[in-house]
Structure 1
């Protein structure tokens, strides 16, 4: 059964020699739990401010996946302990092959929320692009963020 939820999404990207880039936003979405997997569907406004990105975030205690569709399409799998997982970014300018190396997927549950905390690195070929952290907190729609 789908349930309306509120999401607080925080991400940090650190590129060597540059200041960390932090982003945080709140959106509403829909949550469901099926066959041992948590699934969140939500939309966000693209950087161009004129289009929507549709996101599907799925996770369990061991791994997570984020699929984004819109101005830029991407698919990333976060599986700690695996060497490198392919990630593809499809843009209007062409496709970019990337790699995701996941260090940790930590899931915390309490009475009012579920939090997924993911630490990973993005690569192109063997070149490190950025060290990243993604934290998605999922609240029942009756709670305030």
Structure 2
């Protein structure tokens, strides 16, 4: 059974014009499960801002939803075989983000949940990159940075 206090690791890979860019962030968060859907909440601190960005990630069998509130706000939905659009609002301006999700996989274990999504990213109507994102949720007590 997953504990309420968790460590959330988000790993992203972007492929654009032959270049590969990887980013990974680690956050302390809260975990809840309701009707087979997994919810993770955590805050991000942006440089130069006092108010945190409050994040909610909803992990389903074939979908991932990411909601941000605060200095950055957006609602992105990754559903296998679907395209979704959302405004991505940042302190310096807003832009439209479109994601076409080709696959979503969810693996649930006793003290660890992993969700992986592959998608095409477009910003303001122009294709930017092909991306993979992995969200790993681990019980705080058993967290190991791999």
Q: What TM-score, normalized by structure 1, do the two folds share?
A: 0.86
Q: Measure how far apart 1:69 and its partner are.
A: 2.0
What are structure 1's unaligned runs of at least 5 residues?
Answer: none
Q: Say how many residue pairs are matched.
A: 142
For the aligned residue pairs, the C-alpha RMSD in angstroms reads: 2.1
Q: Deviations over 1:1-41 (max 9, x none)?
A: x8111122211122224x32211122110010113311000
Q: Measure how far apart 1:124 and its partner are.
A: 3.0
Moved over 6 A (4+): none
What are structure 2's unaligned runs of at least 5 residues?
Answer: none
Q: Measure how far apart 1:107 and its partner are.
A: 0.4
2:12 alignment counterpart: 11
2:44 alignment counterpart: 44
Alpha-carbon distance in structure 1 between the residues aligned to 2:129 and 2:35: 33
2:56 alignment counterpart: 56
Q: What TM-score, normalized by structure 2, do the two folds share?
A: 0.86
